[in-house]
Every structure is written in C-alpha cells, then in structure tokens.
Amino acid sequence: MFQINLGIPPVLFRSLRGLYPRVVRRLNQKLNTQVQPALQQDLADLVEEPGPVEHPFEFGTPKSRRWYFANMVPKGSKGGSYRRTHALIKAWRLKITRQSDKSYIVVYNERDEARYVYGLPFVGLHLFQRQIPGHTHTGWGKEMKVAMALIQEHGVELIREAYQQTLQEEIRS
C-alpha cells in the first residue's frame, strides 16, 4: 500500500465551526434590510380599496347602524357615504418573525376598524370572524386571500435567495 497524507490547515475547520452563527446573524440583517422592505412594497401594491360603497349599506347590527348615524353623519344631514381617508389601506404592515424553529411572515393592519372592514383573523388564508355585510358587498378584502398567497410565495423565494447569498458570502470570507 502506498499512502500520502496531505495536510489541511486547522484554521479551515475552526472557521467552518463558526460559520453557522455568522450566517444566522447576517441572514437576520438581510431579512430586516432587504426582504422585509420588498415584501412591504408587495403588500402596498396588492392591497387596494374597492370601488364605491354599495347602497343601501348593510350594517352588522342595529346598534352599529345607530352608532354610525350618531357619530359619523353631520347633524341635520340625512346620511350619505363615509368619505374615505385611505388610512385603512395605508395601515397595512408586514414583519418577519423567527421563533426557534418556526418563522412567520406576519401581515397586520394597525387600524382598529380593520376587523370590521375585513373580518379577522386570517387562518390558513380563510376568514373565520364575520365581516360586516356592507363591507363585504362593497368588496373590501375580496382579493385578500390571493394577495396573502402571493406575498407568502414571494417571501419564501426572497428568504431562500437571501440565505443562499448569505451562505456564499460567509464561505468566501
């Protein structure tokens, strides 16, 4: 038998041992500075206001109808449609969370009234809390399931790319 031992510099294995923590640290930075802003832009592009309100507006309860006319309609007026401020659409936010072995793309609306307009929460891309019927008829949230599926698909793709890029950068360094 003929054998030749070729040396491997010990520094190589020492650097590989520290690779995982460095990759995780750099990946978290990329998720915050690259992936999350890109997905926030996707969200802004996908979530839209529906067309004008359908009349007669169907309130959720008689109490909510009374509240609307007592608080939202000018005194002496016979009613009319609510003037949109566009604040509800602008209040959509997205963040990427990591908890041990589970990670999520969390999509939420900062406005309290979102639960009445869209119905909440989303579970498995299905609404299970009742949406106010008038908002359903107007079209609020109609495209939400499709929008969330597209964001999830693009998010997974961006995260995978960020991980591969980070791993290559760390191996090179």
10-41 pLDDT per residue, tens: 877 777 777 888 888 999 999 999 999 999 99
Please report which confidence band the pLDDT of residue 120 belongs to, taking 50, 70 and 90 as the band edges.
Answer: low
DSSP state of 34: I
Average pLDDT over residues 136-150: 89
Alpha-carbon span 103 to 106, nearest angstrom: 9
Residue 96 confidence (pLDDT): 93
- Both tokens assigned to 46: 């996908």
Residue 160 confidence (pLDDT): 94
Taking alpha carbons only, the member of 92, 112, 109 closest to residue 40 is 92
3 state SS for 132-143: CHHHHHHCCCCC
44-99 pLDDT per residue, tens: 999 999 988 888 889 988 998 888 888 887 776 766 677 888 999 999 999 998 87
Alpha-carbon span 97 to 164, nearest angstrom: 19
Please report which confidence band the pLDDT of residue 163 belongs to, taking 50, 70 and 90 as the band edges.
Answer: very high
Residue 127 confidence (pLDDT): 47
Residue 125 confidence (pLDDT): 54
Please report which confidence band the pLDDT of residue 124 belongs to, taking 50, 70 and 90 as the band edges.
Answer: low
Please report which confidence band the pLDDT of residue 128 belongs to, taking 50, 70 and 90 as the band edges.
Answer: low
